[in-house]
Amino acid sequence: DKIRAPLGLRIEASSRCLIFFNGKLIGRYVPEGPQSKFYIPEPLIKEENDIVLMIQDIGRDPLLQSVDVEPYFIHRTCSMKIEFY
């Protein structure tokens, strides 16, 4: 058994954002929700990475409270042998 923890990006902001990870769009953030955590596809992850947020200014001061990289979820992998008779 192995423990796996794919990465995610958690955002808290006062304005809408487009989220790019290494040049690829991975999500759209809306402050009203419901989503604040975005999966980072494993093939996009490199030794050095770029996170770019394009924040929409809609007449109020856009505020980016936090951006965190954290496990998206944690799961255990296992292998099974299935035999058919």
Residues 27-57: tens digit of each pLDDT = 999 988 889 999 999 999 999 999 999 998 7
Task: Determine the structural domain holding residue 34 and report its residue range.
Answer: 2-77
Mean of pLDDT over the chain: 91
16: CATH: 2.60.120.260
The structural domain count of the chain equals 1
Decide if 16 contacts 28 (C-beta within 8 A): yes
User: What pLDDT does 84 receive?
Assistant: 93
pLDDT more than 70, % of the chain:
99
Cα–Cα distance measured from residue 44 to residue 21, given in angstroms and rounded to the nearest whole number: 7
pLDDT above 80 for 60? no
Residue 21 located in a structural domain? yes
Select, from the ranges 20-24, 72-76, 78-82, the one with the highest average predicted confidence (pLDDT).
20-24
Cis peptide before 34 (omega within 30 of 0): yes
Residue 83 located in a structural domain? no
